[in-house]
Each structure stands twice: as C-alpha cells, then as structure tokens.
A and B are shown apart, each in its own frame.
Chain A
C-alpha cells in the first residue's frame, strides 16, 4: 500500500476514482455490449420469422417493434427487466424494450396513487420527454426537408 497521508483532497479523490472505477467500467461496457447485442438479435430473429411468413418489409418492422415492446412490458411486469437492467445497464436501456420498460415501470409503481393521476400521468414520466424531443425533431427534419424540396 503506497497511500500517502499528506495527499490533498484532489489527489485523494483522484485516487478513489481510480480505485473505484477501473474494473467496473470494462465489465459494464462488456455486459452492455452482450445484452444489447442479444436483444437486437432477438429483434432480427422476429423480423426474419415474419418475413418468411410473407409479410412486407414495413409490416415486419411494425410487428418486430410491437413484439419487443410486448416483451419489455411483460418482463417488467414480472419484475425481471429490472434485474436484467442491474447488470446490463445501457444494454437494457437503449433497445426498444428499455423504452417499453420506461413506460411500464412507473405505471406499475404509481398505480397506488390512482388510475388517472397515478398510473395515467406517470406512465410517460420518462417516455414523455422522449416523445416530445423525438416528435419535435422529426417535425423539424420534415420542415427542413420540405424547404429544401421547395427550392430544388
């Protein structure tokens, strides 16, 4: 142990950061990669299965997102998604199943505060901002695209 009793606060906090962070970040990143990749492969599998049934490309995309959202909601409701999230981090947040989890988890949690202002209002606690910025940016893109088409 080469700890120095005369360390400044800054040195000490750097030292703690170094000790505390190094190993988890590599493990966290590896787990996020693994779980995120697996969820995407499940999505690809659903897409390929429905493509084989003769659904169009647009329809399979819709079916895939509905299926994954259902999966995320189901795993959240049986309290399994939060367990996956504990070790998978971003690997469980970023896929569409994580979006589903962000809708379902607060809805379940706030159900006790009533169906309208509890469940109904809190359902979009996280998904709300996602939709606000997603839809706004899509309208911005659409407007710019329309302008460009107008002058070209």
Chain B
C-alpha cells in the first residue's frame, strides 16, 4: 500500500508539472524549445529559493524527471560545490552535477543518429 501511494505521488506531481506546460502551449502558442528553457530556469530559481526541494521530497521522480529537475540538479550541485571548494565551485558545480545527463544525451544522440534514417515528411 505504501508503495502504491509513493507511486501515486510521483504520478501526480510529474503529471501536474506537464499540465502547466501543456496549458502554456495551448494558451500562449509557446514553442517547445521555450518551454524547456523556461522550465529548466524555473527549476534552478525555485531550487535556489528553497521551494523545489520540498517538491522533490514529496514527489520523488515526479519532480526530478521533468526538465525542472535538471534545474534542481544544477542549482543543488552549484551550491554544494561552493560549500566544498568555495569560489571556483560557482563555475564547476552545475555542470559537475549534470555531467552524466549531458554526456549521455550527446553520446546516445550521436549513436542514434548514426543508425537511424531521417524520416521523409
């Protein structure tokens, strides 16, 4: 039963974040690229002012899987690194925390495009 509630929370939080994006798309004709930038930046800002962490604690992957969770990693990473190494952490913390994701996107993207054929529209 516990696990059911746990996954329900993930589902609802993740779903709601996507719903905000969908409403923006339908109401303002905002492009997907802008949505991604907006949500990522919001994730960074909300983490910095301490709002996103409680959402992550509550919703788990529901808050970390959306692109705003990428912003959460960037912001927590940079603050942790400033704690550890001081000033230089400002420049290393964010990418350090998200290095795996960025590398994975580049490598899998490169491999996928080597094997996939462009679709004719």
Contact = CB atoms under 8 A, between A and B. Distances in A.
Interface of A: 21, 24-25, 28-29, 32-41, 43-44, 47, 61-62, 64-66, 68-70, 73-74, 76-79, 89-91, 93-96, 98-100, 102-104, 107-109, 111-112, 119, 123, 126-127, 129-131, 133-135, 137-139, 141-146, 149
B45 A146 contact: no
Contact of A37 (B62, B74, B86): B62
For the side of the interface on B, what is the size category?
Answer: 35 or more
Nearest to A120: B110
B10 A40 contact: yes
B17 to A, nearest CB: 6
By secondary structure, the A interface counts as: helix
Given A103-B109, A142-B78, A40 B22 contact: no
11 contacts: A29-B19, A43-B10, A47-B60, A69-B108, A70-B104, A76-B112, A90-B19, A93-B36, A109-B119, A111-B114, A134-B71
A94 B74 contact: no
Given A69-B101, A69-B108, A96-B101, A41 B36 contact: no
Contacts of A127: 105
Nearest to A109: B118
Given A73-B108, A79-B116, A141-B78, 18 more contacts: A24-B26, A37-B10, A39-B14, A65-B70, A69-B104, A73-B105, A99-B105, A100-B109, A127-B105, A134-B37, A134-B74, A138-B93, A141-B45, A141-B47, A141-B48, A141-B75, A145-B48, A146-B86
Contacts of A103: 105-106, 109
Nearest to B99: A62
B115 A98 contact: no
A111 B113 CA distance: 7
A65 B108 contact: no
Contacts of A28: 22, 25-26
Contacts of B54: none
A78 B119 CA distance: 10
Contacts of A65: 70, 100-101, 104
A139 B36 contact: no
Interface in B37-56: 37, 39-41, 44-45, 47-48
Interface string B67-107: 11111011101110111001101110111001011101110
Contact of B18 (A25, A33, A47, A149): A33
Contact of A95 (B67, B77, B106, B117): B67
Contacts of A34: 15
